Structure 1
Amino acid sequence: MALCSSAALAEVEMPFALDWKFEGPAAPYFLSIENGHFEAEGLSVTVLEGAGSLDAIPKVATGAFPVGFADMASLMKFIDQNPGAPVTAVMMVYDKPAFSIVGRKSHGIEKPTDLEGKILGAPPPDGAWAQFPVFAAENNIDVSKVTVEPVGFPTREPMLAEGKVDAISGFSFTSSLNTMRLGVPEDDITVLLMANHGLALYGNAVIVNTDFAEENPDAVKGFVRAIAAGWKDAIADPATAAQILANHNPAVDTDFETRRLKMSIDDNVLTDYVRENGMGGIDADRMDRSIEQMKMVYEFVNEPNRELYFDDSFLPEEPLKIN
């Protein structure tokens, strides 16, 4: 018993700050807990909800959380505006970002240029909205012909469902399914995934406080392995993953969250690149292209460099195969 107590005391506490609520794509992290992947790495992990793409970054940079989940574009801006901030990405999860425009076919939205002459609902802090100028430039959208309606996160999908806007910005698997739940038929919904329309940016990644990582490198490496193991479990059995998620958020509709999880796997996580190279890493040339695209919508104060934003030293030498 003494040995067990010592082992428990030796576990490294690593609270994990998510970017959003406990929906389907959060299920793999609970699988990492329930299936013992964190425990096997000597880690004690709790998962906490977030409130948008920007939410986790300052939490991790200030040291309030050792690890978090945030999109790369927001991280790049934060580091540029806060030089030397002790935060970086260490594991790519959404190889393709979920940034999307979700519209109604009955309102004439089927391709990017259909947004001209229409009303787009966009929450100002939304990560997808932040990338809209790149999406517009890559698809020759005349932004002067798009009426932008600032909306809140809670009112975004209801306004689309009620026909008050023709399209909204948001994560593909969040906004499309939330709109369906409000009664809009699936065949009336168009999802324009920005990554399929010219966007080179990466999506959400595991981020770490670099001071914590310097003091606990093995813990961060173990965290990365455990995250990959959770995703592998979720890919093998999305329905069970959604059931486990429901233990932490009883309000969820498990059928919808299973579907949401599958969307994130198919569109964002298990890409051709990940199938070939494993989960977690980035392609240097693509990252450089993404920086060039960022320059279209953001004026860097300091010279951007991919090494400022992503540190692959915590990834294992062997690829993290999850398919």
Structure 2
Amino acid sequence: MSKSLAISALAASLALVVPAFVAPAFADTDVKFALDWKFEGPSAPYFVAIDKGYYKAEGLNVTVDTGPGSVAGIARVAAGTYPLGFFDINSLVKFRDQNPDKAVKAIMMVYDKPPFAIATTTKTGIAKPKDLEGKVLGAPAADGAFAQWKAFVKENAIDDSKVKIENIGFPVREPMLADGKVDAITGFSFSMYFNLLQRNLKPEDIKTMLMADYGLVLYGNAIMVNPDFAKANPKVVEGFVRATIKGVQDTIKDPESAIKSVMKRNETADEKTELARLKMSLRDNFVTPWVKENGLGGVDMARLSKSIDQIGITYEFKAKPKAEDVFTSEFLPPAADRKL
């Protein structure tokens, strides 16, 4: 064989072999992640993890979508529409009771202290939970905070027969309070507060009562995983959690930079408002004394068990789930990597 023919034959063989070998090695795994709500301040950690390449470094191509609320979205994860999502763990407890064949689990706690709250205005005279008696409470039926109403009533000795509950939609919740059509509303603290400011109320006109400050030991929103996806892709789930924790750590260290990642994806939002919303959520929900001591992402299983008992005040269980049925730490990185 001539020298030129030999070179041509070698080149041809390489052309066949190299692409088949190289292409799969650089293919990222696509992961769809569902938020509970809109692209607002508290969603910053996920976008920080995208923009800083933390997911990419784990071999993941993560896309983040908005969600229908902290309760309804759990069904999306159970169905596999989204392998991972960010929703209310208390609603997951009920979901597991109602759907024992759908073993969705929480794998990373984000809101160690839930933002469930009751908001009112100073002109109503409501200063403490007992003052809700004789008043009108506006509450969307699908609201995660309103789902805790009966437990809140019991813990604060409220005569709920003296509280008129009005089922209202999310879009009209704050406008109705601002206009005096209801006396108080339920919702997430960092949503209601800033929505009310946008209705031209002043900070001193708004009173927000976090349910966690009035007897509730509940946790808040957590990252959840579809069981089939977790079984088939444990390393993907571990990588997602590891990268997300880095995003949370960076957001806590520098919220002013983190909010830029949100604004890139929600250009109609007001950056000043979203930064303030983010800082409020970091202060009240993300960074608690327990998290400072134990790191991000985990739970106190004894507290989680107690919270499930507290859910039983509001909800009648068919077969009450155990704490280990709704949360697993198996995908969390070592504690040293989760410190603040």
Highest Rg: 1 or 2?
Answer: 2
Match of 2:62 among 41, 45, 48: 45
**Is 1:97 aligned with 2:114?**
yes
Q: CA deviation at 1:26?
A: 0.7
CA distance in 2, matches of 1:91, 1:302: 24
Assess if the C-alpha contact under 8 Å between 2:297 and 2:338 holds in 1.
no
| Amino acid in structure 2 at the alignment position of 1:277 | N
Q: Distance in 2 between matches of 1:114 and 1:7?
A: 63
- Structure 2 match to 1:299: 316
* Number of the residue aligned with 1:131: 148
Separation in 1 of the partners of 2:336 and 2:168?
41
Matched, 1:17 2:34: yes
> What secondary structure is seen at the aligned counterpart in 1 of 2:330?
helix
Structure-2 change in CA distance of 1:299 and 1:118 (3 Å): same
Query: 1:287 aligns to what?
Result: 304
Pick the aligned partner of 2:281 from 264, 269, 274: 264
Task: Map 1:141-290 onto structure 2 (within 5 A).
Answer: 141-290=158-307
Q: Is the 8 A contact 1:228 1:322 kept in 2?
A: no
In structure 2, relative to structure 1, the CA distance for the partners of 1:300 and 1:25 (3 Å cut) is same
Distance 1:286 1:169 in 2: 24
State whether residues 87 and 208 of structure 1, in contact with CA within 8 Å, keep that contact through their aligned partners in structure 2.
yes
Q: State the Cα deviation string for residues 250-292 of structure 1 (Å, max 9, x = none).
A: 1110000001001110100110000000011110111111011
TM superposition shift of 1:107: 1.0
SS at match of 1:100: strand
The answer to whether residue 115 in structure 2 is matched with residue 76 in structure 1 is no
Residue matched to 2:11 = none
Task: Tell me, in whole angstroms, the C-alpha distance in 2 between the residues paired with 1:233 and 1:121.
Answer: 37
Alpha-carbon deviation of 1:117?
1.1
Report the CA distance between 1:235 and its aligned residue.
Answer: 1.1
Separation of aligned partners in 2, 1:167 and 1:319: 43
Q: Please, which runs of 5 or more residues in structure 1 have no aligned partner?
A: none
How many residues are treated as equivalent by the alignment?
A: 322
User: Distance in 2 between the 1:162 and 1:254 partners?
Assistant: 26
Give the conservation status (yes or no) of the 8 Å contact 2:294–2:339. Answer: no
Q: Percent identity?
A: 51
Question: Which consecutive unaligned segments of at least 5 residues does structure 2 have?
Answer: 1-17
Mapped partners of 1:250, 1:291: distance in 2: 39
Distance 1:48 1:102, change over 3 A: same
**Structure 2: distance between partners of 1:30 and 1:7:** 25
Contact kept, 8 Å, 2:96 with 2:321, in 1: the verdict is no
String of CA shifts for 1:38-74, please: whole Å, max 9, x gaps: 0111111000001112232111111111100110111
Q: 1:116 aligns with which of 121, 133, 136?
A: 133
Separation in structure 2 between the aligned mates of residue 56 and residue 157 of structure 1, nearest angstrom: 23
Q: Indicate conservation of the 8 Å contact 1:176/1:191, yes or no.
A: yes
Q: 1:85 to 1:255 in 2, by over 3 A?
A: same
Query: Could you tell me how far apart the structure 1 residues matched to 2:103 and 2:305 are?
Result: 22
* Number of the residue aligned with 1:32: 49
C-alpha spacing 1:302/1:5, structure 2 compared with 1 (3 Å):
same
Cα RMSD (Å) of the superposition?
Answer: 1.4
Residues in 1 aligned to 2:337 and 2:311: alpha-carbon distance in whole angstroms:
28
Please tell me the residue identity of whatever aligns with 2:207. T
1:229/1:322 contact within 8 Å kept:
no
TM-score by length of 1: 0.96
Tell me which amino acid in the other structure corresponds to 1:105. Answer: T
Secondary structure class of the residue paired with 2:282? helix
Amino acid across the alignment from 2:70 = S
Describe the SS at the equivalent of 2:335: coil
Q: Which residue does 1:310 correspond to in 2?
A: 327
Residues 184-217 of structure 1 deviation map (CA, whole Å, 9 limit, x = unaligned): 1110111100111111111000000111111111
* In structure 2, C-alpha distance between the alignment counterparts of 1:25 and 1:165, rounded to whole Å: 27
CA contact (8 A) 2:118 2:210 kept: yes
Local SS of the residue matching 1:287: helix
How far off its partner does 1:102 sit?
A: 0.7
Is the contact made by 2:98 and 2:318 (CA closer than 8 Å) also made in structure 1? yes
Q: Provide TM-score, normalisation by structure 2.
A: 0.92
CA distance in 2, matches of 1:282, 1:151: 33
Q: Kindly state the Cα deviation for residue 5 of structure 1 after the two structures are TM-superposed.
A: 4.8
